[in-house]
Amino acid sequence: MDCKSIQEKLSVYIEDIISSEEKAVIDEHLRSCQKCSGCLADLMKTLDYVKNIEEVEPPQWITTNVMAKVKAEADTGKGIFERLFYPLHIKLPIEAVAVVLIALTTIYIFNTIQPEIRLQDRTELAKAPSEEVINERLISQGDKKRGKDLMTSSPLLKEKELKPSPTFAQSDREKVLLYEKDKEESVPEEASETKAAESLKKAEAEGQAPGAKRDEVKKFSGAAERYESRREALSAFETKAKGDMKKEIINLTLSVRDVETASEKVEEVLIQFGGKAINKDNYENKNILNAELYLEKIDKLIEKLKMLGEVKQEEKSFESHRGSIKIRISIEKI
Amino acid sequence: MKEKEKTLSDEDTEHVTLCKRGNIDAFEMLVKKHQKRILNIAYRMLGNYEEACEITQDAFVSAYKGIRNFQEKSMFSTWLYSIVVNLSRNRLKQLKIKRYREEFSLDDPVFTDDGQIKVEHTSEESSILEKLEKKEIQQKVQGCIDSLDYEHKEIIVLRDIQGFSYDEMSDMLKVSEGTVKSRLFRARDALKNCLKKVMGNL
């Protein structure tokens, strides 16, 4: 074994991890070779230096810094964890509850709004074909302002029945005047078209008697009388109509479990159907709602009421009526 | 030494299992226990305290990130030290590139190496160490370690300073035991020559 290979082995030789044969060979060589034993000494010294090198102490902030970074890392790891598992375990019930709540709210809102939309459509339809309704409303509003008895007065009837009267009166007067003129000029046939003229004619025919002057007066007075009687008849009819309206109150009895809630709902329904002058009287276990409603809405109102509870209705026919009618709904506890 | 490692690793295994379950406190225990050795490996490899501290932190953070993938085929400490060795090696390569760029001594690398060592140390620590012979020797030894190839450097640090077994070293460095032995011989030889040169006489 030459020096070079011996020196190569020295590194393992000093660590004692060498076979005993090799060790013996090296020992043998070292005794005889100064150079190689010098190498060994140098190696030992080198290792001495290296092994005796002092350890350095870690600064305290290393742990702090490392743990801060690790915690940040752990938090981001948690983020992934949350993303993966929260939707499955923890957040799901919350989401489900939220979805159910939204659904319920939507249904509730839809149910509340739905009839109003229908109502709107209906009123629009009603407005379109006839302006009567609007007129009626305007008149009734006007009536309200004037403080008239709304309960008994029908705006439609008023419009239809009251309006002709001044016209009638006016035309009558004209005709009377005309007749007077006619009488003077002796042309009675000209006014034969109108009722007034006819009646006057009849009066003329009836009272075709001795004096023309008297006749004239009589005829004139007859016409006046007729006119008066017409007005009387008209006002009588009006009062009669008013009286009829007073009598025609639809009495409905609604039997429900919860009076308060039911009356609120009935009130809502009345408003939806365009009920006017709604007033409410509260009694023990009984609420009475008074309102005015268009006749054509009554059936629908009763249908709605049937959904709320048991409805008892007085047997009456309202077909002869037009326009709005007074309605009294008694809400009673079952 | 080997037996001591064994008992340490047993304690580690417990902490490692806790860490894998997300227990940060268990990891803190591991940090406190291993930081000194890790810092010293890094320090001897890099020859710079600040750099070593940086590498130590990085090593622990990457150990935490990779702890779930750590299979207990080897000891935790071995695994942890291999991380720091790799990080130090990469840092050395970076620094070497940096040095090449900064210096203009491509034609005389041997001289540059020695010169650099001296410059670094006089600038950093000489004021404290110069008066103390022991410290001076230590400085020279570290200077010689620094002058070594990174392959030789790590093997000297792991074997002669940290006292790891050939088995552990081959595990850490992912080389055969034969390679470890031959590399160690060359490393020691280079170190011896360097010390002879620096100190005049051993």
> Considering only CB atoms, which chain A residues are within 8 Å of B166?
17
Domain boundaries, chain B: 1-95+107-121, 127-202
Q: Establish if B100 touches chain A: CB-CB under 8 angstroms.
A: no
Nearest to B66 by CA among B104, B30, B103: B30
| Cα–Cα distance for residue pair A242/A230, rounded to 1 Å | 18
The answer to whether residue B165 neighbours chain A at the CB level (below 8 Å) is no
Sheet of A249-256, strand order: A276-283, A286-294, A324-333, A249-256, A310-313
Helix (H, G, I), strand (E, B) or coil at A286: strand
> pLDDT (tens digit, 9 = 90+) per residue, B86-99?
999 999 888 877 76
Is the ipTM value over 0.85, yes or no? no
Question: Best of A4, A5, A47, A67 to disrupt the B interface by mutation (most B CBs within 10 Å)?
Answer: A67
Spatial CA neighbour of A326 closest among A266, A251, A241: A251
Residues with Cβ < 8 Å from A140, sequence gap 6 or more? Answer: A150, A155, A276, A324
Q: What is the pTM of this model?
A: 0.48
- Phi, psi (degrees; rounded to nearest 5) at A330: -100, 125
Q: Specify whether the CB–CB gap between A262 and A309 falls below 8 A.
A: yes
H-helix segments, chain B? 2-20, 24-46, 49-66, 76-102, 109-124, 126-129, 133-147, 150-156, 166-173, 177-199
What are the start-end ranges of the E strands in A131-256? 249-256
Nearest CB partner across the interface for A73, out of B39, B64, B196: B64
How many pairs of residues across A and B have Cβ atoms under 8 Å apart?
93
Q: Which of A32-41, A296-305, B119-128, B148-157 has the lowest mean pLDDT?
A: B119-128
Q: Which residue of B has its CA nearest to A18?
A: B181
Across the interface, do B160 and A55 touch by the CB < 8 Å criterion? no
CATH 3.20.20.70 fits B127-202, yes or no: no
Q: What is the DSSP letter of A57?
A: P
> Which amino acid is it at A266?
V
Work out whether strand A276-283 and strand A324-333 pair parallel, antiparallel, or are unpaired.
unpaired
- Whose structure tokens read 């709107």? A120
Mean predicted confidence (pLDDT) in A159-165: 44
Give Cβ neighbours of residue A307 (< 8 Å, ≥ 6 apart): none
Chain B nearest-CA residue for A65? B57
> What's the confidence (pLDDT) of residue A97?
87
Contact indicator for A313, A249 with CB cutoff of 8 Å: no
Looking at 3.40.50.10490, 3.40.50.2300, 1.10.1740.10, 1.10.3720.10, the CATH number of the domain B1-95+107-121 comes to 1.10.1740.10
pLDDT tens per residue, range B136-182: 788 888 888 888 888 899 999 999 999 999 988 998 899 998 899 88
